[in-house]
A and B are shown apart, each in its own frame.
Chain A
Amino acid sequence: MRPDPKKLLEWIKPSPPTKEERECMKLLQPGDYEIYTEKLNNFLLESKEIFIKLGVSSMLRSGDVVTGIYTPTGDMVAAWCGTYLHAVVGQLPIKFVAETWLDEPTVGCKDGDIFYASDPLYGGIHNCDQIVIMPVFNDGELIAWTNAAVHQPETGACEPGGMPLTAKTRHDEGMLLSPIKIGENFRLREDLVEMCVNLMSRAPRMQAIDMRARLSAADRLRQRIVSLAQEKGNDFVKGLFRRIVIEAEEGTRRRIKEWNDGTYRAVTFMDIVGEKHKLVRNFLTLHKKGDQIIWDFTGTSPETDSPQHCMPHALAANIAIHLMSYSFNDLPVSAGVLAPMEFIVPEGCMFNPHFEAAQSNSAPSCHGGMTLGTICMSKLMFDSPQRELVAAATGNTGVGVLVSGVNQWGVLIADFLAYGLNSEGHGARSDMDGVDAFGFSHCPTGRTPDIEDIEIEYQFLNLLAKLNKDSCGFGKNRGGAGTEIVHIVNYVPYALYNSHVKGSKIRNCMGLFGGYPPSTLPGIEVFHTNIWEKMKRGDKDLPSSAMQLISERTIKGDYKIDSIFQKTHVMENGDLWVVFSGGGGGYGDALERDPEMVMDDLRREIISHWTAENIYHVAYNSETLEADVEKTEQLRQQEREDRKARGTTWAEFEKEWSQLRPPEDILDYYGSWPDGKKTREIIRL
């Protein structure tokens, strides 16, 4: 009964319009399409606001959510994004329910029913992402579906926080819900809610509240669509929905057709597998021909005994984040955008593992794929009218910092600290710098939670929160800066903490056209500090940046400089740690950056003096920050001459480069070197 991965991947694309839908489209009068698509967007905006205001977990409150509208067959019509990937995969459990449960006598589907799902094998991303689905009936006819989805930061897995690094199979990952009917007559069934809450015994309150928040959002959307159908008729609604999907597909194909035919490739690397630092590769070959794009991930490292996998449909949904926020951002957020896309994801690679594989870290496992998508699409779009949408990669560190324990109110929590998550640097663009602390790599509209809100809800004091100096990828246009925040365990004796953040060894974020990738991110923790004594005394020398914390060490304690990636461990009252979010990739040669913009970066503490001098080669007065343009040009010309002097020919380069190889012990999970082919079987218990 469970759909196979090929079927799930096919389901992300729209079904062909039926004869009836084509007839219904004729009901739309001039202006109707424009007016009523906007009306749908307003419905979505309202449901999103309801969702965010009613929920409690940090990603929900940060806006990393989706509410969406789907056709009766499950094709995405419109969505508030939010998280584009949730909008795309939201189709799949609906299609499963429509195909499987609708006519099943023991389940069925009627007005007021509520379905719920979280299992990636049935179309989700990973089991943290819980989706509520509601059928929309008017006059007894199923005319649409609505949904509301958001990451739930606890799943009852073998570790707190829903994304266990030690998971070896899906059986270590906690609650995995195939699509079930969880409510009838517009009400959740309390016995089933209690089952979910009971499974989430590390954070029962969050589960109980957020389930209801999802339902409230999806139901408000349902009510609005019913009102629209009552006003305009069911056939009008069906015609409108199909027209939106078709408009998106036709617009997408038209645009693709204008671009240069060819093959574009990119490779990136991830530095974590399970709870170890190991190297794996993600590879993309993008073929563009006519009005179609083929995404071929052959060459990606094989599956492992870790949770860093995703299903092909989840990879495609993550690719859709770029498509819908850059290349086709002006078209409806609908399944039509995906119609011209084909995905090749070989069985047995980390993006298409065995069904028993753990995949609770699915979303962060896709960051490399997201980087590849942005880079290949940017190279494809440069020689086109869409040049302004050309960009280096977003930070893509996936700042998953998870805390758990009892908060200062005596309530059990297990949650993300969403500040870093929602403040990665944006990739630099062809015409401008990347946005500093722009948002969440999966959710461009996500916002960092308010600092005071974090302190009210959780057992932490935030010593500082700001942009992280020198974190951006340097270039003619620089990447957006990432952030740094220092959390101190407060009020309670201890808290549990782990981090899934990548990029301490090598970053999977890439620059573009000579722009540099951003810096790596170390982990910094200080145990047994004297912070409370210092605060009590009113000491004036508390650090105002992470760099000052580690270089001046005015806070006494046991300093540990390690990987930013951390297994679950205990942090005691007064212990502190730094969370960095990654900067975005740079664009273009740093020697072409306007010296005045370099000065501005210095004034805003985006970069250091070292970087201004050694990367941008700017001559300036370090007190007044006035650039000497003439001398700068001389310095830059000298650097260009130095480059020519140190550069070698291809043959000389190949001779030296082919002799190099990474250490064997980091290649355990890589596959064959260097092409990443499967070299062994994974036996799962």
Chain B
Amino acid sequence: MTQAMSAFFEALRQKFGAQIQSISTDREDEVYLLVGDSDIRALAEYLRSEFDARLVTVFAEDRRSAESVFFNYYVFERKGDTRYLIVRAPVHADHPEFPSLSAGLPAVNWQEREIQDWFGLKAVGHPNPRRVAMHDNWPDVHPLRKDFPLGTVLPPFEGERHIYRPALGEGVFQVPVGPVHAGTIEPGHFNFAVAGEPILYLQLRMFYTHKGTEKLFEKLPIQKAVFLAESISGDSSFSHGTAFCQAIERAAQMEVPLRALIMRTILLELERICNHVADIGAIANDVGFVVANAHASRLKEMLVSLNEQLTGNRLLRGMVCVGGVRRGWDAVQLVALRAAIEVFASEFQDLVALIDSSESTRDRLEQTGVLRPEKAKDLGIVGVVGRASGVDLDVRRDHPYAAYGRYSFRVPVYQVGDVTHRMQVRGDEVRESLGIIRGAADESLHGDFRAQVPPIPADRCALSAVEGWRGEIIHWIRTGPDNHLERCKIKDPSLNNWPALVEAVQGNIIADFPVINKSFNLSYSGTDR
């Protein structure tokens, strides 16, 4: 431990010595802080005010059979520190409550309510303690408790799914939309309160695609669970797959061959480019610039074909595995990669120029759907949306993984927070990604691409983070016996970012909602799991 690091822990010990029971590190960049009770409000406030620490995610675990309590986990990170600080706080089974942090930290509003719904632990003092992850018509069950079997057949649902807050006033209407939408998109319900055209207030009802994913992870052997990880959010198959495999590799304390790390880096960036270029086209499409979308979707198709040539699957599925990647690339594949990247790079310039040359497109996007930097920070917004609103976060730079430490790249950050800048961030990132891929493809890709996986010991915890194309993906696991998991927590960046959409649409006309929503392009499945 370096001096600066130990000074940080010294300060914590001095201030919270009575509460902190132990500080442990299985791996250098992952520090666990066990505290004596469930009230971590003072500690969280201290970390935030003194160290500008960000609360990355909050989740729970049912440890009643092994340790006779539940645990809440609070993951923090600080600028300039590659470690994650994980506070582990017990919640007693006979008194299943914990003090809520949401009033001061709106970023964890939904995540604390998930703990309420899934574990039956009450977040005391939560400003809006209604259900979030389970709809109101669900019976009173807590699926992530260990005594709830995965295959439970729930009785038919009864009553209202969700009671929306009424919006009252002269000329105020409420417009319900979804869960089945007009286009080919995922299901969710939006309730707009409008006065004339402008949106006064948007209420979201998500979790329509909740399919028991976290619970299912506890059932599958680890090697099969990789495929479940790839199905958390189809457009981020490789990112989620990699995040999961990394977590297992960290728990097993194994080394992954450099060649595999470089290949993962290339594929992670390909996934980013694929989605960014499609989003740029779709944003243009939503304001009527159909030709731009035609070119963008053609470019995406080009990359998706390249994906298939490199991995056998258009969504990059079935490539990543625990210990590395499943196949190496031959010379033909590498030539195809380099060639496709150069063709794409030049075509992408044309696409951007085409959109830039359209004044009417620019006019529709500028100052549309603004998310102010202070709001973004309060709400804990991450990824593309965050970087367009001044939130300077990128896991690739802040907590390097795969082979990102070997390449230099810029992280674009803007303060304006409108649709234009969310598009700008994507454009900038595409160019940076191309640079990373060029650098990585020039390395000598020889040697092993897959390490032998040692037997994975039970009861190991590991946190893994990946900067998916949307933003920060977190997987946290506890291993169990016989190559199974006791717990797998998934946090998709969409979960952080939905509340920001509510902010960004306010005052905009309802006809601009599609383009604002598209500029966020959040994953429903990643949120709902």
Chains A and B are bound partners: no
Residues of A in contact with B (beta carbons under 8 Å apart): none
Residues of B in contact with A (beta carbons under 8 Å apart): none
